[in-house]
Every structure is written in C-alpha cells, then in structure tokens.
Amino acid sequence: METPDAAELCFPQLLNNSCRKPMVSQSDALLAYILLSSISLLTATLNLLVIISISHFRQLQNPTNFLILSLAVSDFLVGLLLMPVEILITETCWYLGDHMCALYYIADFIITSSSVGNMVLISIDRYLAICDPLQYTTKVTLDRTKICVCLCWICSVLYNSLILNYFLTRPDGQNSCYGECVVILNYITGTVDFFFTFISPITVIVVLYMRVFVVAVSQARTMRSHIATVTVKRSVKVTPKKSEMKAARTLGIVVVVFLICICPYYSPALVGEDIEASSSSSLIVVWLLYINSCLNPMIYAFFYPWFRKSIKFIVTFQILQPESCNASIM
C-alpha cells in the first residue's frame, strides 16, 4: 500500500529521485485542460484554413501571401504539436522519456525561430513594396520568396541544433528530479540566442516598419494636399498601390501583436536572468507566446476579405469542385 507521500510522486517507486505531482484541484485542472485544449484546436484549425486557402487558390499565390503561408505553417505546428505537449508538461508529470523531451524542445525552438524569421521576411517585403514600389515586382518574385522561406527554415534547424547541442546529447542533465522535462540555456548560449532570436530580428522589424510608417504618412499627406496637376501625376507613378498599403497595415498589426506576445518571454534576459523552459516557467508568458499563433489568422479574417471568402469555399465544400483553384477570391 502506498503512503500519502508516495502517492504524490510522479514515480512512487523512485522515492528519492521522483518529482512531485502538481498540487491542483481536479476541477481547476479539468477547466484548464478544456480551455487550453480548445485554444490548441482553434489554433490548428484556423491556420490550416490559411494553409489550404493560399495553397489551393491560384489568385492568392503571390510573394506576400507565400510569406503568410510560411507563418501559418509554423503557427499550425504550434497548435498541433507544441500546445498539446505544453498542456501535458503543465498539468502532470513527464512520462514520455528523455528523448521525447529533447525532441519537443528542439521542435519548440525551431518553430519559434522560424516564426521570428518569417516576421523579418514580412517586414522586408512590406518595406520594399511601400518604399520602393517601382522595383518591387522585379526584386520580389515568387521564386525568390520561396528560396528565402526555405533558407529561413533551414537556418532555424541548423542554428537551434547548434544551440541545443549539449541538451540533445544529455536531455536529462538539467532535470532536478525524475519526471521533469526542462532545458536551461547557460549564460553564453542564452546571450547568443537572445541576440540572434530576439534583439537582432526585433531591431530589423521595428526599423523597417518605422520607415514604412513614415512613407505611408508622407503619401497620405501628399494625396490630401492641393498641389499642381503635373506634380500629382508624377507622384502617382511612385505611390504604392492602395492594396499594398492595406497589406502593410494588416501585416503591421500582425507584427505588433507578435512583438507584444514575444517580449514577455524574453524579458528575463533583459535583466540578466536565465530563460528557463520548464513546468516551473510562467504559464502566462509561455501561453502568451503560443496564443499569438491563434491571433494571426483571426487578424487575417478581420482585415482580409479573401480569407473570409476562401473559408466559405472550404466549409461549403465548393473547394472540391473542378477548377475551383481558379475561382475569383480577391
């Protein structure tokens, strides 16, 4: 017969090495499980709709939307893989073994880094579209965009494999007890990761979008001003199209929401503390980072008529009709 203390352990047979189970009431645990599972399902479903829409309808297959597609893939993986595993880590002990723990965290770091990389590419795309509209179509092609996206994912895999090299060789080396899944970056590795995954990309994103904002405000003032007809005609040639400006505004909101969600996660590094990913990490901070993946398709649905129209095609199964890929969505 187990003692009360043993019953609270993740592995009662290991009295000296086992972690203790989280002390949470069954009603609170059930409520949290239902809520977080619903968010996970919603995230995966909405981003799957984005992936199907852009992949299926030819009218949507342009460089900007391909970047949105890449971001939707990373967000879909967050909802499909990272959120469910995070629920397991939060609500109970880790029973899947050290190798699955290592696999989870390498996937977590790769997906997060690729999301950051996609945000940088989106910012560059909007910068070129708004600030250099005459050269945009020649500089930004679908093939070049595909190459950049592939390089983003490849670099993310290689970079995080290097960052987590020690953890991958000894996944249990940082566990304080048996039944825990945790990775802690040391000072040097954490500083490098903080610079390449947060400081550098965030700086690029902010600088580029500030430039986009300045140009957008300048263009708006020009359109409202009473200037000579010749000047107006001359300025129209270099003025970004209305659709490009709208895309810049929508994707700017996506970028701002992303910054709001990711900054709390890296805030410990700003004060010189270690960034620890484990069951003891702040739930609010971790889930705020993950929930960003659910917010992105909601922003698309609110600002992009083509996304709402494509959803209607998908849920009514019109997408299964012959030549539906050529349907007018824009």
Q: Kindly report the three-state secondary structure assignment for every residue of the chain.
A: CCCHHHHCECCCCCCCCECECCCCCHHHHHHHHHHHHHHHHHHHHHHHHHHHHHHHCHHHCCHHHHHHHHHHHHHHHHHHHHHHHHHHHHHCCCCCCHHHHHHHHHHHHHHHHHHHHHHHHHHHHHHHHHHCHHHHHHHCCHHHHHHHHHHHHHHHHHHHHHHCHHHHHCCCCCCCCECCCCEECCHHHHHHHHHHHHHHHHHHHHHHHHHHHHHHHHHHHHHHCCCCHHHHHHHHHCCCCHHHHHHHHHHHHHHHHHHHHHHHHHHHHHCCCCCEECCCCCHHHHHHHHHHHHHHHHHHHHHCHHHHHHHHHHHCCHHHCCCHHHCCCC
46, 48, 50, 52 alpha-carbon torsion, rounded to 10°: -140
Q: What is the pTM of this model?
A: 0.85
The pLDDT value recorded for residue 251 is: 79
Residue 111 above 90 pLDDT? yes
Mean pLDDT of 290-319: 90
- Reported residue count of the chain is 330
The pLDDT value recorded for residue 273 is: 59
Cross-strand pairs, 277: 183
The pLDDT value recorded for residue 94 is: 81
Higher pLDDT among residues 89 and 158, named by residue: 158
Mean pLDDT of 88-115: 85
Convert the pLDDT of each residue in 119-144 to its tens digit: 999 999 989 988 888 888 899 999 99
Q: What is the rounded distance in angstroms from the CA atom of residue 22 to the CA atom of residue 245?
A: 50
Mean pLDDT of 293-301: 90
Highest mean pLDDT among 81-85, 222-226, 269-273: 81-85
Cross-strand pairs, 9: 20
- Domain 19-326, second-level architecture: Up-down Bundle (1.20)
